[in-house]
Structure 1
């Protein structure tokens, strides 16, 4: 463990300071406005605040993930064409597929970036809470007093933030039903939000031709594998960590809903729905509505031109105009007589 331990310490120490700084900052804010510094709700809200800060910092990665996922969807017809062309040459297929991704600036692994970046944060928070609850071990800006407060904090008077379904349901036969119920609720919430986030992406923001092939199969597998994996592992997570992960999932679901609604991929149900909303909005403001996909444009018959009404004239103007007309008629008659 010598070299490996040094490496983990080198990576973990900056994370301990960064995460504890945000956590302690939120705790100071809630304490300043009058909340109990040792209360479980104060620390729970601090964990939620930590989650919001981390997810806000990860927005650029999320945007990159969305762009990569969209490019992967739109490239599926070309990928299938390559698979058909080089179906007997796997090396050539792999090379041509990577060239296609490179030419279009698509990174097939970018969709995992937010999850990969969050895992060290998740593990660090787990150790902060776990060690604070067991031995009041300080890390980073979480000093000994704050670590003791964090480790012993309870929700609703008897539910420790450091408690888990596994600890209270397996290792303690007498158990505490309230701890198990809250932990189970958060595990189910974490599992459900993971499922619906992935389901939302597949149902609304994937073109019909991208619903088949290896990429679609991968997405379908993730749709069921990820929630099950988080659900099984979640029974061993402390309530404070489950609170972080559930809040993060809710952020992801809302953020993805906003992006899909306002900037959907072409050829998807979300894109069709946005076109219809834009057409309805244009019609409400009196503009010519754009024709949404699948709709038939109704062409109105042209209206007849309105007859221009003559301008009103005074009696003097009408008399002068009459005299001029009479003189013109006399001149025409004389010309005709002269010509005959």
Structure 2
């Protein structure tokens, strides 16, 4: 880890300068040597970095949705050119170019944060050893070494020896309790962020390998952070926990305000919009007008959530317009009610067994007079050929009774060669 941190040493000076500026502010309030002053300085560093990364986060959302929409096409290309890897790669790049999708855009926020993360790790490592770094002079380093967060020094680690922890004026028990709690919170926040993304903000109508990959990452990432966390100083754990909480809140905002089409979050959002429109009779927010405008422009390509929203507007007596507004329309309400009544009056489809057995569905059976007569399987014999109760025909000749074991009716003649 020290080798990786040294690679990003070029950014340690800016990171240390930002921390010192925040420390001078919080030190005047809480005291320069307190854990609150140094801990809040690290938290403020995270917030500043994440604010600067908001444009990259927006690109990440767009890239993730584009990749989700392209999964069926990508799978078709892989199946078509599974024996030609070079052609498969060319077709993939062509697809990305045509749709304007960059697969690396979904990783931009993490990649952009990594230099700051490792620079902060390098700064805290130097503080633990008592060395100056960046704009941190010896007095600031000594002040940071004395700062404790709930009894744990900001430069201490879970795996530190008792002697090293004692040199920082702390006990190993306090350090391990604080770091363990922070590691659990860091992993739990990472898991919850990914879980709410999978459950609420994924298009459920498209089943792709991408969804399976995201589901695996939901369980793998927290484990990775938990294993790596035991080697992080307390200050780095504060940094990573803060950035996870920020990501979770940012993700919740996106899910509520800009959900993925076809997801559960979109259904909940459109129901809130429908409730607001039916209560006030107008679309007040510009954002909501943009959403309705996009739904109207889709026409027949709307998903189930959007069709449900348009139908709900019609039942409430409103019609969505192309500019995103709604107008009062009694005809739309009548058409919606008529369509619903027509769907209710349609008879249920009979099962194959009932159709083959001729059993009529309740409510659709015909009367006995209307039912067609079944054709008789017996031949219509003349009146004089019918036998009477004595077993004789009207002409007086007795009807031949079949022997035991012999079939009724006319018997076939035996073959001459057969035995009698």
Q: TM-score, with normalisation over the residues of structure 1?
A: 0.78
> What does residue 17 of structure 1 align with?
13
Q: Distance in 1 between matches of 2:216 and 2:48?
A: 30
Deviation track 1:112-170 (CA, whole Å, cap 9, x = no partner) reads 11112212211111111111121x222222122111211231124x3211112221589
- In the alignment, structure 1 segments of 5+ residues that lack a partner are 304-340
> Aligned partners of 1:237 and 1:61: how far apart in 2?
26
**Residues 133 and 152 in structure 1, CA contact (< 8 A), matched pair in contact too:** no
Question: What residue is the counterpart of 1:141 in the other structure?
Answer: 135
Contact 2:8-2:119 at 8 Å conserved across structures:
no
1:8 Cα deviation from its structure 2 partner = 8.2
Check whether the contact 2:9–2:122 (CA below 8 A) recurs between aligned residues: no
Q: Which residue in the other structure is 2:180 paired with?
A: 184
Q: Which moved more, 1:253-262 or 1:159-168?
A: 159-168
1:46 aligned partner: 41
Counterpart-to-counterpart distance in 2, 1:11 and 1:248? 19
Q: What's the CA shift for 1:208?
A: 2.0
1:212-267 Cα deviation digits (max 9, x unpaired): 22x22321221111111110010111111100000001001111111121112212
Instruction: State how far apart, in whole Å, the 2-side matches of 1:61 and 1:185 are.
Output: 31
SS at match of 1:167: coil
Within 2, Cα distance between the matches of 1:8 and 1:253? 26
Distance change in 2, residues 1:87/1:208 (3 Å)? farther
Residue number in structure 1 paired with 2:396: none
Choose the corresponding residue for 1:64, options 40, 59, 64.
Answer: 59
> How many correspondences in the alignment?
293
Q: Kindly name which structure, 1 or 2, has the bigger radius of gyration based on alpha carbons.
A: 2
Q: What CA RMSD, in Å, does the superposition of the two structures yield over aligned residues? A: 2.8
Tell me whether 1:99 sits opposite 2:94 in the alignment: yes
Deviation at 1:77, TM superposition (A): 2.3
Structure (1/2) with the larger helix percentage:
1
Q: Which runs of 5+ in 2 are unaligned?
A: 293-304, 318-329, 334-420
Change (3 A) 1:44 1:85: same
- 2:399 aligns with none
1:289-328 → structure 2 map (5 Å cutoff): 292-294=306-308, 296-297=311-312, 298=315
Cα offset, 1:209, TM superposition: 4.3
- TM-score using structure 2 length: 0.64
| Alpha carbons 1:129, 1:151 under 8 Å: kept | no
Match of 1:229 in 2: 224
C-alpha separation in 1, matches of 2:189 and 2:307: 31
- Matching of residues 49-198 of structure 1 within 5 Å: 49-134=44-129, 136-156=130-150, 158-167=151-160, 176-198=172-194
CA change 1:30–1:169 in 2 (3 A) is same
The CA distance in 1 between the partners of 2:132 and 2:278, in whole Å, is 62
